[in-house]
Amino acid sequence: MKIETAQVVFIDIPYSYPPSSPITCRFTLNAAFQPNPRDWVGIFKVGWTSTKDYHTFVWVEPVHDAQQTEMRQAVFKEYYLPKDEIEFYQFCYIDNSGQVRGASTPFCFRNTSEQNAESIADDDLLVITTQVPYANMYIDLGM
C-alpha cells in the first residue's frame, strides 16, 4: 500500500498497550492537510496490504476549537481491541478517498504484568567480578 508523504504523524506511540482498557493515539496534521469528517484511524496488523484489512477503526472527530487543529487524537474502546498478544499492529490514518495519509510505528497489546516482567528483565544488569582483579589491584598499589 502506497503512503503519501506523511500528512499525518502519530506521536508518542508506546511499545505496547494494555488490551483491557481503552487506548488513545495522538497525531498531528500537516498544516496543508485538510481533514474530512469521513476520515478515519484504523488499527492494522503489521503487514497489511489493503485499507480493508483493518482490525477496528474510529472516525476522526471534528475539531471545534480552532487552536486544536494540529494536535488530534482517536480513542479506541477496549471491547474492539485485538486480543492477540503476539502480533504487532499500527495505527493508520485513512482519508475519505481511501488514501493512507500516515502510519504509526508498530506496537503490540500486552497485559501490564507481562510488560513489567519484560521491563524488569530488560532493565536489570548483572555484573560478575572475581576476587583476582581486586587482588591484583591491591598488589599493584602496594597495599
Domain ranges of the chain: 8-122
pLDDT digits (tens, 9 = 90+) for 111-142: 866 444 444 444 555 445 445 554 554 455 55
Q: Average the pLDDT over each of 12-16, 77-81, 135-139 and give the range with the smallest value.
A: 135-139
The whole-model pTM stands at: 0.73
E-assigned strand segments in 4-137? 8-11, 16-17, 23-29, 40-45, 54-59, 71-76, 89-94, 100-103, 108-109
- Residues 6 or more apart whose CB falls under 8 angstroms from that of 45 comprise 53, 55, 82, 87, 88, 89
Integer Rg of the chain from CA: 23
Q: Average the pLDDT over each of 62-76, 92-106, 124-138 and give the range with the smallest value.
A: 124-138
CA–CA dist 86, 117 (Å, integer): 16
Q: Which CATH class is domain 8-122?
A: mainly beta
